[in-house]
Amino acid sequence: MLGVLAALTFAATPGHAAEAQTALGGKLVVCGVCHGVDGSPKLEGVPIIWGLQENYILKQLREFKHGERASDVMKKVAINLTEEELAPAAAYFATKNWPERAKNASSSAPPPTMAICEACHQQALVGGVAAPRLAGQRYDYLVESMGHFADGKRKNSPEMSSIMPAISAADREAMARYLSGL
């Protein structure tokens, strides 16, 4: 199935022909099916990965590959990457530009619960070594991720697993609205 998706994605993205010529490039072409061939995902619940921090992408790929982070689709993708391909795959997406998108309506002032986020996600929430970019990330993905940390379904960040249960669902939604509008 992944091969068919890769073939369909490759055919739809003529500008990526050179990238797909390498073995790794051929494997990464399939990523565009969910994450978007231009970096803007078309499917609900799928995050923007273009321009995220390389160390964060690498950590997530390893966790998907080894079953430490749950996603049937991502496990199938990550398991097809060798250990030696994980770092170059992360670097590939990290060097892409964060996609330009129409900004969502965002309140001028952040919700009070946002103050805790800058400690790890950096000023302006653009991410850094400790944590990924949140500014401009998709609302649906943010709400889902924060909810999974809150209810214990996602456990790959002890910090998030300890913070999110203390924040109400309504506050998490307000945070996601604010973040997606940045």
Cβ-proximal residues to 70 (8 Å cutoff; 6+ apart), any chain:
153, 154
Query: What is each CA distance from 73 to 69, 102, 171, in whole angstroms?
Result: 11, 28, 29
User: Which CATH code for domain 2-94?
Assistant: 1.10.760.10
pLDDT of residue 105: 55
**What are the residue ranges spanned by the domains of the chain?**
2-94, 112-180
- HSE toward the beta carbon, residue 135, CA cutoff 13 A: 16
| Domain at 112-180: CATH architecture | Orthogonal Bundle (1.10)
Give percent of the chain with pLDDT exceeding 90.
79
Place 4 in a pLDDT band, splitting at 50, 70 and 90: very low
**Of 149, 140, 135, whose CA–CA distance to 182 is shortest?**
135
pLDDT tier for residue 22 given thresholds of 50, 70 and 90: confident
Question: Which of 84-93, 96-105, 163-172 has the least mean pLDDT?
Answer: 96-105
The pTM assigned to this predicted structure is 0.85
